[in-house]
Copies of this chain bind each other. A is one copy, B any other.
Amino acid sequence: MPFELNARIAAGGFDFGTLGKCRILLKDNAIYPWFIIVPEVDENITELHQLDAADYTSVMFTIRQISGFIETHFQAEKINVAAIGNIVRQLHIHIVARNETDPAWPGVVWSHDAKKPYTKESAIEIHTAYQRSF
């Protein structure tokens, strides 16, 4: 079955296209730089360890690349990386830049509903930096 991005994930962010085997999205939340990595794999695969060895290695490499981009491009005190999926089951990985000044600190972003859409200018600025990096 061809890969189809989950509608809820798609609606929540900007689609930055494919990197390696993954669709990359920037969540439309200017409170935290927050990327969503969606491996373009069979929808029956809902856990990281269910990826075959080659896909697992590839997805992990993409996570490493995006984390490096976040470190370089944003001022982050800490990077949080997580595969949760309790609600949206399509396999996806969160990579979030955290700072002591953000409203959820030191808690996790998944239990906090602070949200502020990006301005068009900010979204374009991040997209441009992303495109220069990959």
Contacts and interface: CB of A to CB of B under 8 A. Distances in A.
A67 interface: yes
Interface stretch (A6-14, A55-63, A119-127): A55-63
A19 interface: no
Interface string A35-75: 00000000000111100000011001001100110010000
A27 interface: no
Q: Tell me whether chain A's interface is mostly helix, strand or loop, or mixed.
A: mixed
A106 B57 CA distance: 28
Interface of A: 46-49, 56-57, 60, 63-64, 67-68, 71, 78-87, 89, 98, 105-108, 110-111
Given A84-B108, A86-B108, A111-B111, 16 more contacts: A47-B67, A47-B71, A48-B63, A48-B64, A49-B68, A56-B64, A80-B82, A80-B83, A80-B84, A81-B82, A82-B84, A86-B98, A86-B105, A86-B106, A108-B110, A108-B111
